[in-house]
Amino acid sequence: MSVKTLKPIAPQPGRPLYITARDAVREAIDVGIFTPGEQMPSTKELSSQLSVSLVTAHRALQELVTTGVLSRSQGRGTFVHERYLERKKTMSDTRVGLIFHAESSLADYYHSQILEGVRQASQHLAVDLIMLRFGEDIRGECNGYLFVNPLGDEADQLATVAKPKQPIMAIGAKVHNKRVSCVDVDNVDLARQAVAHLISLGHTQIAYVGGADEISNSLDRWNGFLAACAEPLEWNEAGRGGHLAALIAEEVARAPRLPFGVPALRDARLRRLAEALSSDPASDFSLEQWAQRCGASARTLARLFRAETGMGFARWRQALRLTEAAALLAQGASPAQAAASVGYASAPAFGAAFRAAFGITPGEAR
């Protein structure tokens, strides 16, 4: 087996050496020195052949792995991607700088999920991804930037340094600079809702545990927490709180009443059946099978259902399933999810039964 070698590379002014090394390796693959599925030289061998440091060689290989030119197999090594030639037509020279705040930790769930999502997207689109930290020298070879959790002045600073044709996207922060697009959630309101929920449960002493104040969404949540805690638990009935409460009460009084719920059961055997079926409303046990579990005959259970609810077992079970489905819809489940959870194999059949029972569609009950 012949040993394949690469020529040493020379530094190019204004261009990172690992980029030159990366391009040399990709060119060797393009001309057929290394073919799809073939194992690449080790980092140490590549470092020696290209006359670069181990760090530079490793960075060059990692760049090619990220863009899908190479693939790594744990314990085996690095290989030319099997589908490289197929994907080569879609590869571009687009390079995106991913910037994290200096206080951010990639070990926490929030930032690690963002990183993983961006990594998967960049690999799918064959885009080179460079990880940067705020304050580092902005690399001139980037075509655009994703900035995670910037504060307003930091986004402004990046907009000033970046070239006019380099787009900037802020993630997890609201930015008012016209040069910067942003994707965010209302962290202030999120914290206010969390406090309101805990108060509704009866808690009066609430602590806050969050990230560093230097990160924008952490600061927003902290401000929302402080604002919520500053609101009085009791309000002046003649003031804003009283007017809001009166409006809510009036709207609730005007809301149509829906026949949710099932008749209460008194017999202990029926209660055992009801509790089991409430835990698993999708169960298709027959009345005979339930009778074996409840310690009574099917005929006795049928008679008890008629006596206590005025309906047979099948109709009572349908009412229970629809009531459980209504609760799921109120919690945000889709009609299809609610239908499957309570034992309906057909969404249209579930919709028809729900409308017949409550006079509204499952979608209107959400």
Tens of pLDDT, residue by residue over 288-302, are 988 888 888 989 989
**Backbone φ, ψ for residue 65 (5° rounding):** -70, -45
pLDDT tens across 49-95, in order? 999 898 889 988 888 887 778 888 777 888 988 877 665 554 556 78
Tally of CB atoms within 10 A around 28? 18
**Contact call for residues 364 and 355 (beta carbons, < 8 A):** no
For the chain, what percent of residues have pLDDT higher than 70? 87
Cα 110 to Cα 124: distance, rounded to the nearest angstrom: 22
**Contact call for residues 149 and 104 (beta carbons, < 8 A):** yes
Q: Are both 172 and 103 inside the same structural domain?
A: yes
Question: Does the pLDDT value for residue 31 go beyond 80?
Answer: yes
Q: Averaged over 19-45, what is the pLDDT?
A: 89
Single out the residue in 59, 90, 121 at which a domain terminates.
Answer: 90
Q: Which residue has the higher pLDDT, 54 or 219?
A: 54
DSSP string, 184-208: ---HHHHHHHHHHHHHHTT------
pLDDT tens across 308-354, in order? 888 888 888 988 888 888 888 888 888 888 888 888 888 888 889 88
349 falls within a domain: yes
pLDDT tens across 92-112, in order? 567 888 888 766 777 777 777
Q: Averaged over 120-141, what is the pLDDT?
A: 71
Question: Does the pLDDT value for residue 39 go beyond 60?
Answer: yes
Q: Are both 361 and 275 inside the same structural domain?
A: yes
67 falls within a domain: yes
Q: Which residue has the higher pLDDT, 246 or 88?
A: 246
Single out the residue in 153, 183, 213 at which a domain terminates.
Answer: 183
Quote the pLDDT of residue 257: 60
Q: Are both 293 and 337 inside the same structural domain?
A: yes
Cα 50 to Cα 30: distance, rounded to the nearest angstrom: 17
Residue 66's domain spans which residues?
17-90
Token pair listed for 338? 């609610």
Cα 356 to Cα 351: distance, rounded to the nearest angstrom: 9
Q: Are both 281 and 323 inside the same structural domain?
A: yes
- For the chain, the straight-line distance linking the first and the last C-alpha, in angstroms and rounded, comes to 67
Q: Are both 116 and 179 inside the same structural domain?
A: yes
Task: Report the candidate in 163, 129, 125, 132 with the shortest Cα–Cα distance to residue 147.
Answer: 132
Q: Are both 155 and 177 inside the same structural domain?
A: yes
Q: Are both 69 and 107 inside the same structural domain?
A: no
Task: Report the candidate in 171, 191, 172, 169 with the shortest Cα–Cα distance to residue 180.
Answer: 169
Tally of CB atoms within 10 A around 312? 13
Q: Averaged over 40-55, what is the pLDDT?
A: 90
CATH code at position 304:
1.10.10.60
Cα 98 to Cα 340: distance, rounded to the nearest angstrom: 41
Q: What share of the chain is helix, strand, coil (3-state, %, to 5)?
A: 50, 10, 40
Quote the pLDDT of residue 70: 87
What's the structural domain count of the chain? Answer: 3
Quote the pLDDT of residue 259: 60
CB burial class (10 A; 0-12, 13-18, 19+) of residue 80?
Answer: buried
**Backbone φ, ψ for residue 39 (5° rounding):** -75, 140
Q: Are both 58 and 37 inside the same structural domain?
A: yes
Quote the pLDDT of residue 158: 83
Single out the residue in 148, 183, 218 at which a domain terminates.
Answer: 183
Q: Are both 306 and 361 inside the same structural domain?
A: yes
Quote the pLDDT of residue 90: 47
Quote the pLDDT of residue 25: 92
Task: Report the candidate in 270, 195, 261, 249 with the shortest Cα–Cα distance to residue 225.
Answer: 195
Q: Averaged over 42-52, what is the pLDDT?
A: 90
How would residue 1 be classed by pLDDT, with cut points 50, 70 and 90? very low
For the chain, what percent of residues have pLDDT higher than 90? 2
Task: Report the candidate in 102, 183, 110, 199 with the shortest Cα–Cα distance to residue 146.
Answer: 183
Highest mean pLDDT among 24-38, 116-130, 149-163, 165-179: 24-38
Tally of CB atoms within 10 A around 270? 22
Cα 297 to Cα 265: distance, rounded to the nearest angstrom: 17
Mean pLDDT of all residues belonging to the chain: 81
CATH code at position 158:
3.40.50.2300
Q: At what angle do helices 347-358 and 313-330 cross, to 10 degrees?
A: 100
256 falls within a domain: no
Task: Report the candidate in 18, 27, 22, 78 with the shortest Cα–Cα distance to residue 53.
Answer: 18
Question: Does the pLDDT value for residue 252 go beyond 60?
Answer: yes
208 falls within a domain: no
The contacts of residue 284 (CB under 8 Å, 6+ apart) are: 343
